[in-house]
Amino acid sequence: MIYPVPTHTYKKKPKRKVPWLLILILIAIAFAVFFLFYTHNLLFDSSDMTEPVVDFLFLIQDKEEVFFIRSNRQQKISYAVQMPLKSFEPIQAVSLDQSTPQGIYNSIEKLFGRANRSFWATIETSDFTVLAQLSKNAPDVSQTGASAPSYDIHHFIGLVQQIDLSVIEFIFFPKMKALQNIFKMDNFNNRSAFRLVDQLKNYAYKATPVAFLTKNPVTIRYLTDSGEVEVERFYLDDKSLKSIKEFMSQ
């Protein structure tokens, strides 16, 4: 007697297909990582960020003060100098009293030497309030009961140090653009503004006071074709300037 051989049919398990949504998510993540890497390198490999020495000059117009900041990336330090606009160096006959921040920087360059790159701008003391608003951590003097702001170079640097540099900052530069909106008669760009904030936030700064030959300004009168002209000058001490220049070049 012949018995039938039992037969079994096996169904093949269907292959799992990777959902298109997952593929799109992976592609988006890969693109985002590449974009972040590209924009990061585009900023930090730029000449504004890599140059060893970059100068920043600010004319505080209504206060007639000049803030000079020399950023040294190799030394990882910034040097800060504050001088009256009416400062005058008698030996070289160099006057800071110029009509534009670029003209003032040309005089600064004669006193302290040339940097690899230089940027300048004009601001008002009222812009310090706008500058403070760029940082969520910046204290409001009116609410804290603190004394009136000094509007000196320490005050300015302190506000710049409070500006947050998040990941979004080196992609779209929202705060750097807001910072440039404060500046007038300037040559800043997103990268140079980032260099200023990054250097002051992450490295030390040294404020170097300048000595003058007289405590009060000296009034000078001289004749021109249009008549007598009267100017006030703070005569800079040449030895003080030389020591600051040597200190910066160490």
Backbone angles phi, psi at 40, to 5 degrees: -65, -50
Residue entry with tokens 């988006």: 28
Range of the domain at 170: 52-211+238-248
Q: Among candidates 51, 55, 57, which has minimal Cα distance to 71?
A: 55
User: Has residue 3 been placed in a domain?
Assistant: no
**Secondary structure (DSSP) of 104-137:** HHHHHHHHH---SEEEEEEE-TTHHHHHHTT-TT
Rounded to an integer, what distance in angstroms lies between the CA atom of residue 138 and that of residue 159? 7
Query: Could you tell me the CATH number of the domain that includes residue 153?
Result: 3.40.630.190
For residue range 89-139, list pLDDT tens digits in order.
999 999 999 999 999 999 999 999 999 999 999 999 999 999 999 976 555
Report how far residue 81's alpha carbon sits from residue 178's, in angstroms, rounded to the nearest whole number: 25
**pLDDT digit string, tens, across residues 68-101:** 999 999 999 999 999 999 999 999 999 999 999 9
Write down the pTM of the prediction: 0.85
Give the pLDDT confidence score for residue 243 in this predicted structure: 93
Q: Is residue 70 part of a domain?
A: yes
**DSSP one-letter code for 109:** H
